[in-house]
Amino acid sequence: MMRALFIAAAVVVLLVGVGLFAFLHFPLRAVDEPGAFETRAATRAKHVLVRRASRSGIPPAPTDRQASLVEGDKVYGVDCAACHGVDGHKPTDAGRWMYPRAADLTSKEVQSYSDRELFWIIKNGIRLSGMPAFAKVESDEHIWDIVFHLRTLPAGSKK
């Protein structure tokens, strides 16, 4: 029994030591791009958390899709183009130098979110990512307008 307790204590001390070493050597600077593992892990975690958060509290989308698309183009130009670029594909200098970088809104990763998930992201933002919350700036209808507009951006578009 004493031997098992000693081994367990040694394992705990070793794990704490490894964890502390990793924590103290974690690169905090935003100059370097993250590695493939960090990118995959963060992206997967973000998708899971957004999916869970968007399950409730999302208002219904406007029914007039055409009017929503027209308004969405305008609202996107005011609220989103400053970082994501006018075409949603090529970020501006401000978007390129954020960490993480402003997302390519035409990418497979972004377009894989459901409309409800995109609504949630735009309304609530993503903490520690540079993506602000627009809940206090735009109405729910305008946020839906942006979601619909994002669906019209073809990959690599030149707007």
pLDDT digits (tens, 9 = 90+) for 122-159: 999 999 888 999 999 999 999 999 999 999 998 765 54
Phi-psi region of 65 (alpha: psi -120 to 50; beta: other; left: phi over 0): alpha
Beta bridge partner(s), residue 131? 126
The terminus-to-terminus CA distance of the chain in angstroms comes to 71
Q: What contacts 85, CB < 8 A, 6 or more positions away?
A: 91, 92, 95, 102
Mind listing the pLDDT tens digit for each residue in 103-127? 999 999 999 999 999 999 999 999 9
pLDDT tops 70 at residue 9: yes
CA 20, chain centre distance (Å) = 28
Most confident of 29-33, 96-100, 142-146: 142-146
Alpha helices (runs of H) in the chain, residue ranges in sequence order: 2-24, 36-53, 65-79, 81-84, 93-96, 108-111, 115-124, 140-150
